[in-house]
Chains A and B, each alone.
Chain A
Amino acid sequence: MRWLPLTAAGALALTLLASGGLAPTRAAAAPTLNVAVSTDPAGFDPQATAAASTFEITFNIYDTLATVDPKGNLVPDLATGWSVSDGGRTWTFRLRSGVRFSDGTALTSQVVKASFERLLSKAEASPWQPLYADIASISTPSPTVVQFHLSAPSAPFLANVASPWAAIVDPQAPDLAQHPVGTGPYELLSYVPGQEVTLVRNPYDWRHGIPAIPKVVFHIVPDPQTQLIDLKTGEVQAVPGIAPQDVAALKGAPGIRVVTGPSPFIQVLAMNEAWGPLKSLLVRRAINYAVNRQAVIQGAFFGYAVPIGTHMTPASPYYVNLTGMYPYNVAKAKALLAQAGYPHGFSVTITAPSNYEEHVRTAEIIAQELSAVGIRAQVVQVPWATWLSKVFMGRQYQMTVIAHTAKLDPDTLLSIYESTNPQDYMNYRSPAYDALIERARTTTVLSVRRALYAQAQRMLAENATAVYLDAPDTIVAESTRLSPWPIYPIDVLPVAYLRMR
C-alpha cells in the first residue's frame, strides 16, 4: 500500500533527470543573438500598422530614404542625399546604387514611387496616410532620382520620410504582413506567433560587414520576471526595456551589464481644461507646484528618469528646459488654491491605464502629494481600450497620467494641442498657439522653427496645461558578451550594428 506514492515520486524524479540534460536549448548555437521582447509584432508590414512592436523588429528588415542615428540626426539611408527646391514644395532624393531587396529585386526610383503609392493607396488603408496627404505627385526623372511634389511646403516631410512606417517595401511582394521583403540588413527567416521571430542576414545587403551577427532571434516573453530569468540563465543575451526596479536585482550579477539612455517617452499628468476646477489657471498652477517630480522619479522610476518642464523630450534638439518654472512648493500651491476659490481643495479622479504599471504608480504618488494641499484625488485604473476610448478620444476624464511618444519631428508632439486636432484631449484652446504651430510646420528655416517651437513649449508650460513630469530612461540589460546596446530616440530595436563575443 505504501509503494504507490513512492512510485509516483520516482517517476517524477526520473522525468526530471531525463529532461535535465535538455535544459540549455537556446544558448547552444554560438553566433545567434537572442533577445527577449514582451509582445508579438502586429505583422511585418510597416506601412499597415501603428504598432510599436512591429517597428521594433521591421527596423532591421526595411530601410527608409533617410533614417535616424542614435543621436537623433536624420542621415542618408537608401538616399545618399536630398535637396529642397520650389520654396519647400519639391523634395529630390538621389538613390544609392546597387541596392537589392532580399528577394533579389533591384531598387529603382520606380520601386520607391510604387512603395509610396502603396502607402497612400485606398486599398491598403495605412493609418499613416494623413501624414503624407500633402504629396501631390511623385516623379522619377531617372532610375536613381525620385522627386516628391508637395501641395504646400512641409517642414516635417523629411522626418516623415525617415519614419519606420515609410519603409521602402517591394511593392510586388504579395503579403508583406507575413512575408516581408525589404532592403534592410536582415530578412525574416521564420515567425512562430507567441514564440519567436527569427531574422537572418539579408544576402543582398548593401552595407559592408554589417550585420556582424548572422542570426537574431526575438523571443516573445510576456512576463518581466521570466525575462530576467532568461537573461540570467543565458537563454537570451539582451532584454531591451526592463522595469527600473529590476536594475537593483541585476547589480552584481556576473556577466550582465545594464545600458541606459533617453527613451522617446515623456510622462505627463494631463488635466482636462474643460472640467470643473481645472478650468482655472490658478488651480492648474497650484497642482504644478504641489507635485514633487523627484518623488515621482524615485517612487515610480527608481531614479531612472529626468524631470521635464514642458511637452518635449530632453533628447530632442528642440527641447527647452523649463523645469524651474514650478518648483515643488506646498505653501505656494495652497495659496494659489485659496486665491482660486478652493481654500479647502476639491475632489478629483486621476485615470490611469492599468496595463502601464509606471503610470499607475505615478498616479498613486501624485494622489498622495495632492492630499497635502487639500485636493482629494482618487486613482481610477482602466483598461487600455477604455482609456483610449473614454479619455483620449472621448475626453471624459478629469486628470490622467500618460506618456506621449516622441517621433522624429517635434510637430507630432506639439500639434496635439492644436484646437482643431481631434487628439487635443486636454481641451487646450489657443488661437495664438495654433498659429505658431502652423507657421512652424510650413517654414523650412531651421533657426526659425526652433524659435517657434521654443515659444510653443513656453506657452504650454505657462498655461500649466499639464504637469510635465519626466522623461523615463530606456533600460537595457544585456550579456557582457554583447557590445553596448544602441539606444535610439524612437521606439526601435536596432540589432545590425551589435557585435557579440
Chain B
Amino acid sequence: MRRPLPASLRLGLGLCLLVLALAAAGAVWTPFPPQAMDLAHAMAGPGPVHLLGTDDFGRDLLSRLLVGMRLDLMLALASVLLSGAAGLAVGLLAARLRGLAGDALMRLVDLLYAFPAILTALMLVTVMGASTTSLVVVLAAVNLPVFVRLTRSMALSLNEQPFVEAARAAGAGPWRIALRHVLPGVLPTLLVQAATALSGAFFTEAALSYLGLGVQPPTPTLGNMLSEAQGFLAVDPWMAVPPGLAVALCVLAFNTLGDGLRDRLAPGGGPPGRSGRAAPFPAPSAAPAQVGRDHALVIDA
C-alpha cells in the first residue's frame, strides 16, 4: 500500500528543487560575468541593473550568488558521497571485525573524531593547498566518523536480528550477509544522515571561508561571499544579506529533506529492535541528525 508522502518530505523536496534550479540557472546563465569588476559601482544596493546590488569590487551579487550556489552544491554532494561511501565501507568492516582489530579500527575513528575538525581542516588545507578538491576532502573527513559510527552500530544491532541469524544458520558467508541483509537495513538511515550532512556542508563551507580556508577567490562560493561581506559589515551590511539567505535556504532545504526522509522511512521513529524498555541510544532514526549536526558544529559553532 502506498502511503502519501509526508508534508515535510514534500516541502524538503520542493526546497531542494528550488536550490537545484537556482544552481542549474547559474550554470547556464548569469546576468553578468561573476568575476567582472566595476570599481566605480562598488557596494551598490539592489537596483534595476544589478538586481541584488554589487559587492566591494562592484561585481554583480546575483551572478556570484548563482554561481556560488552551484559550486557549493557540487562541493556538498561530492563530499557527502565520498564520506558516505567510505564510512559505509569502514563501518561494515568494523562491525565484521571482532576483538582487537575492530576495537583498534574504532579507536582510529574516534581519534579522527577527537581531533578538532577545525585542526583537521587547517592541516589538510595547508598540506593540499586551498582548492575545491581539498575542500571536498576536508568536508568528507569531517563527516566520515559519523558515517562509520552509524553504520557500525546499526550493523551490529542488525547482526543480532532473527532474520540475519537465520541466514547465518543457513550457511551464508559473512560478506554475503553484510551485502544482502545488513546493507539494505543500513542504507535508509544513511540516506537520512546524508541529507543532514549535505546541509551541514553549506554551513561548514561558510565557516572555513571565515577562517580563510575556503575556495580561492575570485571564484565565488556562498561561504567566501559571506565572509567577504563580514569585513564590510560596518559599511555595507546589505552585502551579507543575499549570501546569508542563500546559505540559510540551502541548509533549510536539505535539513527538511532529511526530516522528511526520516518521517517517510521510519514512521513513528521505529528503528529496528524497538522494545518496551527505554532505549539506551538515542533512537537511531533521530540520532544521526544530531550526531551530524554536532559535527558540523565542531567546525562552525
A and B touch in the complex (CB under 8 A): yes
Q: Which of chain A's residues 149-192 have a Cβ closer than 8 Å to chain B?
A: none
A320 lies within 8 A of chain B by Cβ: no
Total interface residues on A, using CB and 8 Å?
27
B231 touches A368 (CB 8 A): no
Which of chain A's residues has its CB closest to B237's CB? Answer: A249
Whether the Cβ atoms of A383 and B126 lie closer than 8 Å is yes
In this assembly, does B37 line the interface, its C-beta being within 8 Å of a C-beta of chain A? Answer: yes
Q: Which residue of A has the minimal Cβ distance to B215?
A: A381
* A243–B37 CB distance below 8 A: no
Query: Do B216 and A295 have beta carbons less than 8 Å apart?
Result: no
A242 nearest in chain B by CB position: B234
Q: Is A299 at the interface (CB under 8 A from chain B)?
A: yes
Q: Which of A243, A381, A382, A386 contacts B217 (CB 8 A)?
A: A381
Contact of B39 among A295, A385, A386 (CB under 8 A): A295
Q: Whole-angstrom distance from the CB of A39 to the nearest CB of chain B?
A: 15
> CA of A379 to CA of B131 in the docked complex: distance in angstroms?
11
A245–B56 Cα gap in the complex (Å)? 9
Is the Cβ of B37 less than 8 Å from the Cβ of A379?
Answer: no
Chain A residues with CB below 8 A from B42, complex form: 299
Stretch at the interface among A72-80, A307-315, A353-361: A353-361
Instruction: Find out whether the CB atom of A379 lies under 8 angstroms from the CB atom of B231.
Output: no
In the complex, are the beta carbons of A245 and B232 less than 8 A apart? yes
Give Cα distance in the complex from A379 to B217, angstroms: 7
- Is A364 at the interface (CB under 8 A from chain B)? yes
| Residues 1-53 (chain B) with a chain A CB within 8 angstroms | 35-37, 39, 42
Mask: chain B, 130-155; 1 = CB below 8 Å from A; 0 = not: 10000000000000000000000000
B115: Cβ under 8 A from any A Cβ: no
Please determine whether B217 and A364 come into contact, CB atoms closer than 8 angstroms: yes
Chain B, 177-225, CB within 8 A of any chain A CB? 212, 216-218
Interface residues on B, range: 20 to 34
Q: B174 within 8 Å of A by Cβ?
A: no
CB distance A380 to B216 under 8 Å?
A: yes
Query: Is A246 a contact of B129 with CB atoms below 8 Å?
Result: no
**Contact A249 B234, beta carbon cutoff 8 Å:** yes
Check B235 against A245 for contact (C-beta < 8 Å): yes
Chain B contacts for A298, CB-based, 8 A: 39
Interface SS of chain A:
helix
Cβ contact of A354, chosen from B36, B39, B130, cutoff 8 A = B130
Give the CA-CA distance A382 to B212 in the complex, in Å.
Answer: 9
A360 CA / B56 CA spacing, docked (Å) = 13
Residues of A within 8 A of B231 (CB): 224-225, 243, 245, 357
Residues of A within 8 A of B230 (CB): 225
Cα-based distance from A249 to B234 in the complex (angstroms): 6
Question: Are A379 and B216 in touch, CB under 8 angstroms?
Answer: yes
Contact with B along A191-231 (1 / 0, CB 8 A): 00000000000000000000000000000000011001000
> A367 interface residue, CB < 8 Å from B?
yes
Chain A residues closer than 8 Å to B212, beta-carbon distance = 354-355, 381, 383
Proximity bits, B222-249, A CB within 8 Å = 1, else 0 = 0000000011111100000000000000
**Which residue, B57, B233, B235, has most C-beta atoms of chain A within 10 A?**
B235
Q: Report A-chain residues with C-beta under 8 Å of the C-beta of B129.
A: 380, 382
CA distance A471 to B56 in the complex (A): 21
Q: Which of A243, A357, A367, A382 contacts B218 (CB 8 A)?
A: A367
Q: Are B234 and A364 in contact (CB under 8 A)?
A: no
- Closest residue of chain A to B126, judged by CB? A383
Q: Please name the residue on chain B nearest to A355 by beta carbon.
A: B212
- CA distance in complex: A381, B130 (Å): 7
Chain A residue at smallest Cβ distance from B57:
A299
Query: How far apart sit A141 and B126, CA to CA, in the bound complex (Å)?
Result: 55
Say whether B217 contacts A299, CB under 8 Å: no
Using A381-B217, A382-B129 as known contacts, say yes or no to A299 and B39 having CB atoms under 8 A apart: yes
Smallest CB gap from A360: residue in B: B217
CB distance from A387 to the nearest CB of B (A): 12
Q: Are B37 and A299 in contact (CB under 8 A)?
A: yes
CB-based contact B216/A386 at 8 Å:
no
Query: B127 to chain A: closest CB distance in Å?
Result: 10
From A223, which residue of chain B is reached at the shortest CB distance?
B230
Asked if A248 is an interface residue, CB under 8 A from chain B, the answer is yes
Q: Contact at B235–A381, with CB atoms within 8 Å?
A: no
- How far apart are A115's CB and chain B's nearest CB, in angstroms? 39
Which residue of chain B has its CB nearest to the CB of A296? Answer: B39
Contact with A along B46-77 (1 / 0, CB 8 A): 00000000001100000000000000000000
B216 and A228: CB pair below 8 A?
no
- Please, how many angstroms separate the alpha-carbon atoms of A225 and B218 in the complex? 23
Distance A29 CA – B280 CA, assembled complex (angstroms)? 56
Q: How far is the CA of A400 from the CA of B232 in the complex (A)?
A: 25
A:233-258 near B, CB below 8 Å: 243, 245-246, 248-249
CB distance from B175 to the nearest CB of A (A): 44
Contacts of B35 in A (CB 8 A): 368
Q: Do the beta carbons of A385 and B235 come within 8 Å of each other?
A: no
Q: Mark A47-76, 1 if CB is under 8 A from B, else 0.
A: 000000000000000000000000000000
Q: Does A106 have its Cβ within 8 Å of any Cβ on chain B?
A: no
CA–CA, A380 and B36, complex, Å: 18
Chain A residue at minimum C-beta to C-beta distance from B130 = A381
Provide the residues of chain B in CB contact with A295, threshold 8 Å: 39
Chain A nearest CB from B230 CB (Å) reads 7
Does A281 sit at the interface, judged by CB under 8 A? no
Given contact pairs A245-B56, A354-B130, A380-B216, A365 touches B37 in the complex (Cβ within 8 A): yes
User: For the complex, what is the distance from the CA of A220 to the CA of B233, rounded to whole Å?
Assistant: 21
Residues of A371-398 whose CB lies within 8 A of B: 379-383, 385-386
Q: Hey, which bits of chain A sit against chain B, CB under 8 A?
A: 224-225, 228, 243, 245-246, 248-249, 295, 298-299, 354-355, 357, 360-361, 364-365, 367-368, 379-383, 385-386
5 A–B contacts from the bound complex (CB under 8 Å): A249-B235, A299-B39, A364-B57, A364-B217, A383-B212
Pairs of residues from A and B, 4 with the lowest C-beta to C-beta distance, nearest first:
A249-B234, A249-B235, A354-B212, A299-B39
Apart from the given pairs A245-B235, A368-B218, 19 other A-B contacts in the complex at a CB distance below 8 Å: A228-B234, A245-B232, A246-B235, A249-B235, A299-B57, A354-B130, A354-B212, A357-B231, A364-B37, A379-B217, A380-B129, A380-B216, A381-B130, A381-B212, A381-B216, A382-B129, A382-B130, A383-B212, A385-B126
